[in-house]
Amino acid sequence: MFKQLKTITGGLMALCMPVAAMMAATNTAKAADPTEVRIMWYSDGNEGDVMRDLLDRFEKQNPDIKVMLDRVPYKTVVEQLPALLDSGQGPDLARVTDLGGLSRHYLDLRPHLKNAKYFDDNFASSLPWFRPATGNKDGIYGVMSQLALTLPLVNTTLFQQAGIPLPGPKATWDDWAKASKAVADKVKAPYPMAFDRSGHRISGMSISMGGKFIDGDKPALVDAGFKSGMKNLVDWHANGTMSKALWGSVGGTTYRGATEEFANAQVVFYMSGTWQFTQFAKTVAKNFEWQAVANPCGPAACTGMPGGAALVPIKATKNPQAVARVVEYFASEPVYEEYHARTLFLPAHAGLAKKGINYVTDDANVKKSLAIAVEQVAQTSPIAFKFQGYEHNRILFNAMISRVNQAISGEMSLDDAYTRMQADIVEGFAAKGIKLQ
Amino acid sequence: MTHHAPDQDSRTLSAHFARGFGLAYTGLMRALEPPFAAIQKRVGIKGMAYVFVAPNMIIFSVFVALPMILNIWYALTGSNRLMIGERPFVGLDNFSALLDCKDYLDVNSCKQDRFWRAVHNSVLFVALQVTAMVALSLVTALILNGKLRARGFFRAVFFFPVLLSPVVVALIWKWILQRDGLLNALLLSSGGERVAFLHDASWSFFWTVFVSVWAHMGFYALILLAGLQAIPADLYEAAEMDGTPKWRVFWRITVPLLLPTLLVVVILSLIRAVQAFDEIYVLTGGGPGTATQFIVQYIYETAFANQVHLLGLAAAASLLVAVVLMVLTLLQLRISYHGKTS
């Protein structure tokens, strides 16, 4: 037996020796390993590729930092990132769109930045969007990776084929609805108007109709302006201006865009936003002519909703200095300019907005649309900016989307939908520990 | 220099390997003997059973029992926080919010109308789906049990959808049923009009039942087929000799002897129908409106998909569903036990 045990022990030792050697090698390598910074990143267009390219350059300049760009679907950022952050895990940085909703997890970079004044000077208008209610009042909790604005995209070829002129820059929602329906009827397009199924998209219209959304720090969703906006949506679904095949095809708060339908020339008027330009430059190419147009007017304004995505540092990071260096590199003027020029996004950088960006595109549709978008940013209602910066805006977005959808599908009247929206908002705030009534 | 045939070489290698493995195994067992003998001395021969079951119990506790306890705790706490320590205790508030209804048949009178819409939809879905599932599975099993040419092929055909992922099933049917899908293309090419199969509430509900039956029928048909084949053939021969009509044979021999299997199928399909989620979520997303939103989707959306995660409310709803499923499972166990004893 002793002999057998000796054989086994000998075998095990022989097995262990290479493992031990490997572990020793790993430990030696570890000592020289660069600091790893992980970014959770989703993309609408080519921004993931552009970012990776820029980060490769950063790594060459900063060999002590390795940046892992974890590319995930948008749904992961919306559904899984909050749970990860709540459990104290998650990446070092993330690209998010719920700027205020996740703000309690953000890290104030001000103490770690070499030149915080640069951020104050160039990102002043968007910095408050990330600041948590209980955080540092002048904290730097992130940097916009894309300033977006909701605005309509129009298939101008369909208008030409129908022989109907595009409504002018001060055209109302009603004008656009009638014109889009007329075009669709004439050219047999299945979707006269389409809206992304998102609270953000319908908020711009409601603000134009007179909606206020917030009163001080409290939600004030249902007012006459908001009701006019919602009534438009329900009426357009009822009279065929909007198709239930898009909004009605899903339930709850599920997002549903109409990008495929627009790229297939099935949509005349698509209420979406500036982030679609890159995608349509690629998918539509020269198949037909399209362009962004000015946001339709209501009695109160002609506005879209600002928004976009931001690169935010996460409080739980173990490497705040390295994270600050990555953010500082990304926000630096030449890098930020190149990123926006190649992704065709609007910059949130005051200096660049003033100077203008030389976008890398030959696409006439995109060029025309970018010019319109820049004009539209200047015309965006202050209410829209305020609502975008409101920490709890997602509670309102969720309530309006899910309930107006029930009104569209005929499950409840619009008045009942308003009552339910109010109840949902009270419930959402209660879950965050805020009592409204 | 000698040359061995390749098969002789491989036989020698196998023999060496077997011998080496045998030695290692014996050595390992002998090496383990002293510690286990010491444990046995301490806990006794009866206690050893617990020692051997312990690894499994630890896995069960970590992955089943602990999540169940956590779920109960979530149901008794509020707020949108994930970490248990940050969640205030609210007692039965989540349950009372879910059950707060003036009239359980009128969802608009309920505080959590979406929960009750999901419950109503689920009840209707279960009733229609289980009825259709059992009836069609039985018919399929009866046909497949008969004298049929290429019987093996048809059995495989009916069973094939069971092997598909629910997401694949839903995507295939979405491709067929969507506005510009295959079915509408057929309708249009034959001079008909386009139908909103997935955007009209009634059509949408019909297709969720249809797709669910299509995807799972093969499994239940297979169980019933096994039940049919277990019925002694001499009973049918005796009935044939007596000139008994076929419908009488079916009602007097097939149905009574198939009843235990049939009840198992009913209960299994019932449990599965209550849990329906994946393929329907991909096919309709619960829409239009909430027409095809069932209870599991409600739980998922309340807990995770909405921006404010109402984990307590979702946990309370999941416990209510668990109670229903537990009753159904007990019923199945009772039927199985009754079937065995009788």
Residues A148-190 pLDDT 10s: 999 999 999 999 999 999 999 899 999 999 999 999 999 999 9
Same domain as A183, residue A97 = no
Residues of B with CB under 8 A from a CB of A: 23-24, 26-28, 30-31, 78-83, 108, 111, 113-114, 117, 178-179, 196, 198-201, 284-293, 297, 301, 304-310
How many angstroms separate the CA of residue B83 from the nearest CA in chain A? 6
B99 belongs to a structural domain = no
Q: CB contacts < 8 Å between A and B, how many? A: 128
- B-chain CB neighbours of A8 within 8 Å are 24, 27-28, 31
Would the pLDDT of A7 be above 70? Answer: no
B138 and B33 in one domain? no
What's the pLDDT band for B3 if we cut at 50, 70, 90? low
- Under an 8 A CB cutoff, do B308 and A190 touch? no
Closest among A401, A404, A370 to A274, alpha carbons compared: A370
**Is B145 found in the same domain as B61?**
no
Alpha-carbon distance B217 to nearest alpha carbon in chain A (angstroms): 26
For residue B4, pLDDT over 70 is answered with no
Question: Is residue A381 located within the same domain as residue A243?
Answer: yes
**Among the three residues A295, A320, A355, which one is the final residue of a domain in this structure?**
A355
CA distance B88 to chain A (A): 10
- Are residues B56 and B167 located together in one domain of the fold? no
Picking from B30-44, B284-298, B328-342, which range would have the lowest pLDDT averaged per residue? B328-342
- Cβ–Cβ of B288/A409 closer than 8 Å? yes
Nearest CB to B199; choose among A244, A395, A428:
A244
Asked if the structure places residue A27 within a domain, the reply is no
ipTM of the complex, rounded to two decimals: 0.77
Same domain, yes or no, for B51 and B158?
A: no
Question: What is the count of structural domains for chain A?
Answer: 2
Asked if omega into A91 is within 30° of 0 (cis), the reply is no
Q: How confident is the model at residue A245 (pLDDT cuts 50, 70, 90)?
A: confident
CB contact under 8 A, A433 and B79: yes
Whether residue A220 is found in the same domain as residue A176: yes
CATH of residue B231's domain is 1.10.3720.10
Chain A residues touching B305 at Cβ < 8 A: 79, 252-254
Q: Please give, rounded to a whole number of angstroms, the shortest distance from the CA of A242 to a CA of chain B.
A: 13
Residue range B34-55: mean pLDDT, rounded: 91
Instruction: Tell me whether residue B303 is in a domain.
Output: yes
Query: Does the structure show a pLDDT above 60 at A409?
Result: yes
Chain B residue with minimal CA distance to A247? Answer: B288
Does the pLDDT value for residue A363 go beyond 60? Answer: yes
Same domain, A119 and A235: no
| Nearest-neighbour CA in chain A from B177: distance (Å) | 11
Distance CA A54, CA A42 (A): 16
**Closest chain B residue to A429, measured at CA:** B308
Q: For residue B179, is it within any domain?
A: yes
**Mean pLDDT within A306-333:** 95
Please report the pLDDT score of residue B5 as a whole number: 58
* Domain endpoint, select from B57, B75, B93: B75
Could you give the 3-state DSSP secondary structure of residue A151? strand
Stretch A281-308: mean pLDDT = 94
* Shared-domain flag, residues A185 and A325: no
Nearest residue of A to residue B88 by CA position?
A433
Q: Which of A315, A305, A308, A316 is nearest to A132 (CA)?
A: A315
Angle, vertex CA A86, rays to CA B63 and CA B279, nearest 5: 55
Contact yes or no for B80 and A431 at CB 8 A: yes
In-domain check, residue A23: no
Same domain, A418 and A271: yes
Chain A partners within 8 Å of B287 (Cβ): 248-251, 254, 405, 409
Write down the pLDDT at residue A4.
Answer: 47
DSSP string, B4-44: --HHHHHHHHHHHHHHHHHHHHHHHHHHHHHHHHHHHHHHH
Chain A residues with CB inside 8 Å of B309's CB?
Answer: 82-83, 431
pTM: 0.81
CB contact under 8 A, B292 and A251: yes
Instruction: Among B53, B75, B97, identify where a domain stops.
Output: B75
Last residue of a domain, one of A291, A322, A355: A355
A143 and A164 co-located in one domain: no
**Cβ within 8 Å, pair A245-B305:** no
Residue of chain A nearest B285, judged by CA positions: A250
Mutation site for B-interface testing, chosen from A4, A74, A89 by largest number of B Cβ within 10 Å? A4
Q: How far is residue A319's CA from residue A37's CA, in Å, rounded to a whole number?
A: 8
How would residue B1 be classed by pLDDT, with cut points 50, 70 and 90?
very low
Helices vs. strands in chain B: H and E counts, helices first: 14, 0
Does residue B121 share a domain with residue B270? yes
Closest partner residue to A5 among B31, B111, B289, by Cβ? B31
CB A283 within 8 Å of CB A155: no
Residue closest to A349 by CA, chosen among A292, A316, A397, A308: A308
Q: What was the pLDDT predicted at A16?
A: 47
Residues of chain A with pLDDT > 90: what percent?
69
Cross-chain residue pair B291–A5, CB shorter than 8 Å:
no
> Cβ–Cβ of B26/A88 closer than 8 Å?
no
pLDDT value at position B138? 95
Q: Are residues A49 and A142 in the same domain?
A: yes
Q: What is the mean pLDDT of chain B?
A: 90
Residue A186 and residue A241 share a domain: yes
**A14 min Cα distance to partner chain B (Å):** 14
Report the pLDDT value the prediction gives residue B13, as an integer from 0 to 100: 76
Residue A251 contacts B where some CB pair is shorter than 8 Å: yes
Contact B217, B137 (CB under 8 A): yes
Domain co-membership, A169 together with A61? no
User: How far is the alpha carbon of A429 from chain B, nearest alpha carbon, in Å?
Assistant: 9
- Residue A260, pLDDT score: 92
Answer whether residue B34 shows pLDDT above 80. Answer: yes
State mean pLDDT over B62-79.
Answer: 94
| Percentage with pLDDT > 70 across chain B | 96
pLDDT > 90: what percent of chain B? 66
Note whether residue B299 is domain-resident. yes
List all residues of chain A from 274 to 293 with a beta carbon under 8 Å from chain B. Answer: none
Range of the domain at B22: 6-75
Q: What is the pLDDT of residue A32?
A: 63
How large is the average pLDDT for residues A236-262? Answer: 88
Average pLDDT over residues A280-301: 94
CB A274 within 8 A of CB A148: yes
Give the mean pLDDT of B71-80.
Answer: 93
pLDDT one-digit tens code per residue, B193-251:
999 899 889 999 999 999 999 999 999 999 999 999 999 999 999 998 999 998 999 99
* B293 φψ region: left (φ > 0), alpha (ψ -120 to 50), beta (else): beta
Same structural domain, B33 and B130: no
What's A198's domain CATH number? 3.40.190.10
Instruction: Identify the domain containing residue A156 by its residue range.
Output: 149-306+368-431
- Does B176 map to a domain? yes
pLDDT reported for residue B339: 66
**Same domain for B139 and B240:** yes
Q: Assign A174 to helix, strand or coil.
A: helix
| Band of pLDDT at residue A425, cut at 50, 70 and 90 | very high
Q: What is the number of other CB atoms lying within 10 angstroms of the CB of residue A370? A: 21
pLDDT range class, residue A258, cuts 50, 70, 90: very high
| Mean confidence (pLDDT) of chain A | 90
Q: Give the C-alpha separation, A427 to A420, whole Å.
A: 10
Q: Does A394 touch chain B (CB under 8 A)?
A: yes
Q: Which residue of A has its CA nearest to B90?
A: A431
Per-residue pLDDT band at A9 (split at 50, 70, 90): very low
- CA nearest to A140, candidates A173, A116, A104: A116
Taking Cα atoms as reference points, which of A16, A2, A68, A3 lies closest to residue A37?
A68
The pLDDT of residue B342 is: 62
For residues B172-177, average pLDDT: 95
Residues B181 and B118 placed together within one structural domain of the fold: yes
Q: How confident is the model at residue A285, as a pLDDT?
A: 87
Who contacts A132 (Cβ-Cβ below 8 Å, separation ≥6)? A103, A104, A106, A141, A391
Domain co-membership, B119 together with B38: no
> What band does A20 get if pLDDT is binned at 50, 70 and 90?
low
Q: Span B172-186, mean pLDDT?
A: 93
Could you tell me if A202 and A325 lie in one domain? no
Pair (B35, B158) in one structural domain: no
Residue B267 lies in a domain: yes
pLDDT for B153 equals 87
CA-nearest residue of chain A to B302? Answer: A252
- Number of domains chain B is built from: 2
User: Cβ contact (<8 Å) for B307 and A8?
Assistant: no
Contact (CB<8Å) A411/B286: no
Whether residue B289 and residue A432 make contact (CB cut-off 8 A), yes or no, is: no
> Chain A partners of B111 at a C-beta cutoff of 8 Å?
423
Measured in angstroms, the CA of B111 and the nearest CA of chain A are apart by 9
Contact A79 B290 (CB under 8 A): no
Q: Worst-scoring range by mean pLDDT, A60-64, B60-64, B303-307, B335-339? A: B335-339
- Comparing CB atoms, the residue among A88, A249, A420 nearest residue B285 is A249
Please report whether residue A22 resides in a domain: no
* SS3 at position A148: strand
Q: CB contact, 8 Å: A408 with chain B?
A: yes
The mean per-residue pLDDT over the stretch B33-55 comes to: 91
A245 to B290: CB separation less than 8 angstroms, yes or no: no
Does residue A335 register a pLDDT over 80? yes
| Residue A8: per-residue pLDDT | 46
- Contact at CB, B289 and A430, closer than 8 angstroms: no
Q: Give yes or no for residue B334 having a pLDDT over 90.
A: no
Mean pLDDT of A398-421: 93
Q: What are phi and psi of B28, to 5 degrees?
A: -60, -45
Give one DSSP letter per residue of B277-289, joined into a string: -HHHHHHTTT-ST
Going by pLDDT thresholds of 50, 70 and 90, the confidence category of residue B302 is very high
Mark yes or no for CB contact B309/A82 under 8 Å.
yes
A76, pLDDT greater than 60: yes
Q: Residue B195's closest chain A neighbor by CA?
A: A245
Q: Are residue B118 and residue B196 in the same domain, yes or no?
A: yes
Same domain, A131 and A257: no
Which of A325, A355, A385 is a domain's end point? A355
Region of poorest pLDDT, from A124-133, A330-339, B128-137: A124-133
Which residues of chain A have a CB within 8 Å of the CB of B82? 83, 86-87
pLDDT value of position A249: 75
Residues B231-243 pLDDT 10s: 999 999 999 899 9
Residue A374 and residue A351: Cα distance in Å, rounded?
Answer: 14
Residues B310 and B245 in one domain: yes
- Please name every residue paired with B101 in a beta bridge, in sequence order, or none if there are none: B110
Examine residue B251 and state whether it is found in any structural domain, yes or no: yes
pLDDT interval class at B32 (50, 70, 90): confident
Residues in chain B closer than 8 A to A4 (CB atoms) = 23, 26-27, 30
A284-296 mean pLDDT:
95
Q: Compare B5 and A362 and report the one with higher pLDDT.
A: A362
In the predicted structure, residue A12 carries a pLDDT above the cut 80? no
User: What confidence score (pLDDT) does residue A15 get?
Assistant: 46
Q: Which residues of A, range 115-174, sit inside 8 Å of B by Cβ?
A: none
